[in-house]
Amino acid sequence: MIQIKNLSRSFGTLRAVDDISFCVQNGSITGFLGPNGAGKTTTLRMMVGYLRPSGGSITIDDKSIHDDPIAASARIGYLPEHNPLYEEMYTYEILKYVAELRRMPQDKFLQRREYVIANCGIRQVLTQRIGTLSKGFRQRVGLAMAILHDPEILILDEPTSGLDPNQILEIRELIRKLGEEKTVILSSHIMQEVQALCDRVIIINQGRIIVDDEIGKLDEYLQDFRVMDLELEGENIDFSEFLSLHPEVETICMEQNDTLYKIRLKIPPQIDIRGDISRFVADNGWLITSLFTRQKSLEEIFHNLTTQASAPDSKPEPPTEEMQ
């Protein structure tokens, strides 16, 4: 488990990371999000030991990464946002170079080299110089370097940057497989990627964590409403009794003919009325042909939360116990 406690980092008078705390459990994929300048990359660099904190602690299984940086580095694989590569080296050379830096035994290196070549899709560029590679292949080589030593923890900063759609799907699938047995922290500006891969999301803004929760609960922080579309079949459908029993639910629009009834409802985020609707419909002998709750996109949630938190004296409140 990675534990971050009261972590801070200043650059002169600029407080880039301001007293943040969170933990990441083993065998999970956690999204670490924030707008540009939020302190996201600074936090990741401190977690891998590239920067020393101004205050606070970073531990892996209760051991500080600064007590034995070499041992901590052996447990972490890191792909930075701006992938640093030696352009004069060939692809196969840079893999060997990384293995030598990490003092990998030859038999393990040969085994892991074949794994990363196959899974990162770099076989066709093994004999090319890094300087001649496209941005997408450079990103693949960087990911291969990050996982070559089979680390327990992967910290990936924009891992699919520069890849084409097919490559993105391949790398996402690799990250998903790695997340089954490793701890993965993923930073990305591609919200669909975070939604597809992550179980949990941490959002940082202006150096502070504003949200740390399961990805499915993020819309609850907006204190807004959900929209439900309901379609029924039956005779003499009348939903007015149900609405009178649930005054917190509002009707947006309604359409009805002889046997088909459609209604769109506006529902507070903390309320789940699907069970009540099912019982009410069944008691009246009608049939639900469609029930769909419109979810906010992660892009919309991210935008609303970060712009809300940027306003003076404003911070999104987490959902209360009743809302969960």
C-alpha distances in angstroms, 301 versus 33, 231, 307?
A: 12, 27, 10
Instruction: Give me 198's structure tokens.
Output: 């992550």
DSSP secondary-structure letter at 121? T
Q: Return the number of other C-beta atoms located less than 10 Å from residue 82's C-beta.
A: 9
| Residue pair 33/187 in contact by the 8 Å Cβ criterion | yes
Cα separation, 292 vs 285, in Å, equals 20
Q: Amino acid identity of 52?
A: R
Instruction: Give me 4's structure tokens.
Output: 């971050």
> DSSP readout, 34-73?
--TTSSHHHHHHHHTTSS--SEEEEEETTEETTTSHHHHH
Cα separation, 10 vs 15, in Å, equals 4
pTM value?
A: 0.72
| Residue pair 91/122 in contact by the 8 Å Cβ criterion | yes
Q: In tens digits, what is the pLDDT along the chain, a chain of 324 residues?
A: 899 999 999 999 999 999 999 999 888 899 998 888 889 989 999 999 889 999 999 999 999 998 898 899 999 999 998 888 999 999 999 999 999 999 999 999 999 999 999 988 899 999 999 999 988 889 889 999 999 999 999 999 988 877 788 888 888 888 888 888 889 999 988 787 888 889 899 999 989 998 898 887 776 665 567 788 999 999 889 889 999 999 999 998 888 887 889 999 988 877 888 999 999 999 999 999 999 887 666 777 777 777 765 544 444 555 444 333
* Pairing mode, strands 14-24 and 29-33: unpaired
Cα separation, 60 vs 68, in Å, equals 11
